[in-house]
Amino acid sequence: MGNIIINGVKYDGNDIVIKDGNIIIDDCLNQIESKIINIHIDGDVNSLQVDVCENINIDGNVLKSVNTVSGDINILENVGDSVSSNSGDIKCNIIKGNVITTSGDVKTKNIEGSVNTTSGDILTKK
C-alpha cells in the first residue's frame, strides 16, 4: 500500500479513519495535535474515512471507498467503490460506485454508479 502522510507525519497502513482528532490506521489509535488536517497518500489505499480535513490527495487508487464530512477529495487514479463528501469537491479518474456530495463539484472521467450533488456541478472528462 501507499505512504500515508498526515500533517507531515508518516504512517503505515491500509484502512484509515480520522475522527474527533484521532487517527485510526488498521485499528491502531494515534492522536492529531492540529485542528487543520491535510492528508497525502502516495500509492494505493484500501479505504479512507475522515470527519473534517482541508484536503485529501491520493496519488494512486482507493480500492474500496473514501468518505469525508468536510474537505476536498483529489484522487489521481480510480475508486473501487463509492465517494462521498458533505462539503467539498471530488476529483478523480474513474469511480466504480456512487458519488454523493451536498456542496461541491464532481470532476471525473467516468462514474459507473449514480451521482448526486445538491449544490455543485458534475463535470466529466472526455
The residue-averaged pLDDT of 85-92 equals 94
What is the C-alpha separation between 61 and 112, in angstroms, rounded? 16
pTM (2 d.p.): 0.91
**Average pLDDT, integer, range 56-60:** 97
Q: Is the pLDDT of residue 1 over 80?
A: no
The mean per-residue pLDDT over the stretch 91-99 comes to 96
| Over residues 96-125, mean pLDDT | 92
Residue 35 has pLDDT above 90, yes or no: no
Strand partners, 72: 55
Closest Cα to residue 61, out of 17, 87, 96, 98? 96
Q: Mention every residue, 6+ apart, whose C-beta is less than 8 A from residue 85.
A: 67, 68, 69, 70, 71, 72, 73, 100, 101, 102, 104
